[in-house]
Chain A
Amino acid sequence: MSAAEGAAVTDGTTVARAAAPGTGAGTSATPVARGGPAAPLLEIADLHVHFRQRGQDVAAVNGLSYATEAGRTLAIIGESGSGKTVSSRAIVGLLPPSAKVTGSIRFLGEELIGLPEPQMRRHRGPDIAMVFQDPARSLHPTMRIGQQIVEAIRAHLPLDRKAARERAVELLRLVRLPAAERRYEEYPHQLSGGMRQRVMIAIALACKPKLLIADEATTALDVTTQAQVMELLLDLQQQLGMALVMISHDMGLAATYADEVIVMYAGRAVERATTAELFSHVRMPYTKALLEAVPRIDRPAHARLPVVEGRPPDLSALPPGCAFAPRCPGAQDDCRESRPPLEEHEPGHLWACWHPCMGGRQP
């Protein structure tokens, strides 16, 4: 992981905690968006995020573009330092002040980049909400669960204490927290990791967001709990008509739950397709490497994994060509000289590679 992302994540966590009540910003009057074909719910174009770190310019995100609609689940997959978290924090405006964000992030047609904090705050909650990886650090440790949800609700909804309390309990039931009434009075440390994550989801849903960003939301959970939380997220998505962006390093999670997948490497999208298309016809050698390296239950014992050597590139000195070329088994001279753009080569399937794997084999 690059130092840049490390810094971004650390800063972001503190920002996130401070802003936790703010995730419930806005008015309740906003109806749930259905995302008509006219303006996409979320449209990101040529997003760049740079950090200054020890006098060096660290390019965390380098020209990311995608769009997503209400009711869709988009998975953004990548390793540490691929820019998946930084690009998502840019959407909610939760990057440290040292981050230089350029490009365009449009939410229902409105530009979010450069929006002053008070206006940005109005979007967090009824429009966009985020669930983070570490529920223990995202919740206030000495505040009762219920109070934290009430704070999120009352920060922006014109509800009195009693109504807000009722709404909070309702939310806890919505996220299927057992004994919601009792949990309302408890502190975060009295809850298990899975339950805390449910509370975080309840806070995120307090104002019925149109877009929910789940940043490794189930990574810290056990596999059976992860399955429960993912099912819950997808159910709620259907119920509320949200768009869901799930950020993960787990290919299996994306294959099981997402409609569409974007694979990121060194701050760029390198492959994008519907889940069924991507996992049946992998084109980008990096995606292929990721897929092959995943431990699989159906592999014989002690089987050696196909590995790519080396490490992700230094984000302060990206190579001129394809960022994956130094590690790519199929790299050729043109890969090192010029960077392949992300283009639609097959209907609905985009990749950024001069020599893609066709039919699962290197050409």
Chain B
Amino acid sequence: MTTVATGPGTDARAQWPDPGSVLLDAHHLVQEFVVRDHGGVKGGVVQAVSDVSFEVRAGETLGVVGETGSGKSTLARSVLQAPRPKSGEVYLQGVDLVKLHGRELLETRRHMQMVFQDPFGSLDPKWKVAEIVEEPLVAYGAGDRAARRKRVGELLDLVGLDPARYGARRPRQLSGGQCQRVAIARALALNPALIICDEAVSSLDVLVQAQVLNLFEQLRDEFALSYLFIAHDLALVKQVSDRVAVMYLGKLCEVGPAQSIYLEPFHPYTLALLDSIPSPDPSKARARGHHTISGEPPSPIDPPSGCRFRTRCPRAQERCALEEPEMRTLGHDHAVACHFPLPRRVAGGEATDPTTAAPAAGSA
């Protein structure tokens, strides 16, 4: 697949740094939307993303997991400046995207591409597959017509679609998995350093999903790509990610290495998410109803004071309502925003029941 690296616009990534250094750095991102009632009266402000900071390191996959309305998609769009966040900074390789405008922003943004959830909705139904994949190359003026054609062929090959067979088809003539491959080819066209996947495999059947996930991993290996992988499925996120960030109602609860998030979650919400996953292995099937949390997320228009999870948290105490928990580092590379984090699990053992365990305030 080395031939692909000769396509137009390929030298762009030569400048990217060594694996492990910070590629994308978001500081105190805030995104809010005004809700209008009848007659355009301001009805409230949806606090979609509230003071979220995170980083994506070169060559790594950062998974973002959260339920509907947790702000994970808004977070992705804020990173891309589409729309711009209300406040905060987004550094891509040290350049603050928030301060860039016009052509400069476009030039920098080409290094980040997005793959969306709905494979049919994110492709223009009237365009041919080859045109869809070529579009970013045209938009960025990459190469002449012949070079672009060649590049499109390479890209389609790369995602496992025969260009001769599929190039002239339209999205409706493809299956969901094939459409998603086209979307991935389009995302790869400009040789991005970072691909943002927003529920990119969530609508696919499990066998097709596995094929597309493997494609993501293959591309990661070949091009040292970094991913910001957003999904509601913790098992899926855990499987593809080096680090995982857990989001709840516009805030990050916990960020840490995927393995320790899974083995030693500190945040009660992370534990609840883990215990809600139905396992296909009956020997590991949880005791039903054990750790499931009650209720539903409150409205982001009027989030609870202090810790936003406190209204559903089995460990919540008075302090949680009064004081917002700061993100603090508890384990290696593992940070949590909780006043009463879960005690460490005994290696290989079951988690201590958060409802009965004595709160280990700050001692975990």
Contact = CB atoms under 8 A, between A and B. Distances in A.
A293 B206 contact: yes
A222 B280 contact: no
Contacts of A195: 296
A67 B277 CA distance: 29
Given A255-B279, A301-B259, A223 B288 contact: no
Contacts of B293: 224
Contact of B206 (A1, A249, A299): A249
B117 to A, nearest CB: 13
Interface in A92-135: none
A255 B281 CA distance: 7
B281 A307 contact: no
Interface string A220-251: 00111111101100100000000000000111
A65 interface: no
A142 interface: no
A252 B277 contact: yes
Contacts of A256: 278-279, 285-286, 288
Interface stretch (B16-24, B98-106, B268-276, B324-332): B268-276
Contacts of A257: 278, 288
A294 B201 CA distance: 12
A256 B283 CA distance: 10
A297 interface: yes
Contacts of A345: none
A54 interface: no
A297 B205 contact: no
Q: For the complex, would chain B's binding face be called helix, strand, loop or mixed by DSSP majority?
A: helix
B24 to A, nearest CB: 19
A329 to B, nearest CB: 13
Contacts of A234: 288
Contacts of B241: 301
A222 B68 contact: yes
A308 B207 contact: yes
Q: Which of A223, A292, A303 has the most CB of B within 10 A?
A: A223
Interface residues of A, number: 53
Contact of A222 (B67, B176, B283): B67
A275 B233 CA distance: 23
Contacts of A250: 278
B294 interface: yes
Contacts of A225: 67, 296
Nearest to A250: B278
A279 B273 CA distance: 23
A226 B207 CA distance: 22
A256 to B, nearest CB: 4
B280 A307 contact: no
B232 interface: yes
A222 B206 contact: no
A291 interface: yes
B280 A279 contact: yes
Contacts of B234: 223, 297
Interface stretch (B89-97, B188-196, B211-219, B355-363): B211-219
B292 interface: yes
B280 A251 contact: yes
Given A231-B288, A296-B280, A223 B67 contact: yes
Contacts of B67: 222-225
A58 B280 CA distance: 32
B235 A295 contact: yes
Contacts of A306: 210
Given A223-B67, A290-B207, A293-B206, A276 B282 contact: yes
Contacts of A305: 210, 213-214
Nearest to A292: B210
Given A195-B296, A296-B239, A302 B217 contact: yes
Contacts of B197: none
A309 B205 contact: no
B175 interface: yes
B238 A297 contact: yes
B230 to A, nearest CB: 14
A188 to B, nearest CB: 15
Interface string B288-305: 110011111000000000
A249 B207 CA distance: 11
B2 to A, nearest CB: 21
Contacts of B213: 295, 305
A230 B205 CA distance: 21
Contacts of B282: 255, 275-276, 279-280
Interface in A279-327: 279-280, 289-309, 311
Given A79-B207, A252-B278, A301-B259, A224 B292 contact: yes
A231 B293 CA distance: 12
B128 interface: no
Given A223-B233, A255-B280, 20 more contacts: A79-B207, A80-B205, A193-B68, A222-B67, A223-B232, A224-B273, A227-B278, A231-B288, A256-B285, A257-B278, A290-B206, A293-B210, A295-B213, A295-B235, A296-B280, A301-B239, A303-B239, A304-B214, A307-B214, A311-B175
Interface of B: 61, 67-68, 175-177, 205-211, 213-214, 217, 220, 232-236, 238-242, 258-259, 262, 272-286, 288-289, 292-296
7 contacts: A224-B276, A254-B280, A255-B285, A279-B282, A296-B235, A302-B220, A311-B208
Ranked nearest first, the 7 interchain pairs of A and B with the lowest CB-CB distance are A252-B278, A293-B210, A256-B278, A222-B67, A295-B236, A305-B210, A251-B280
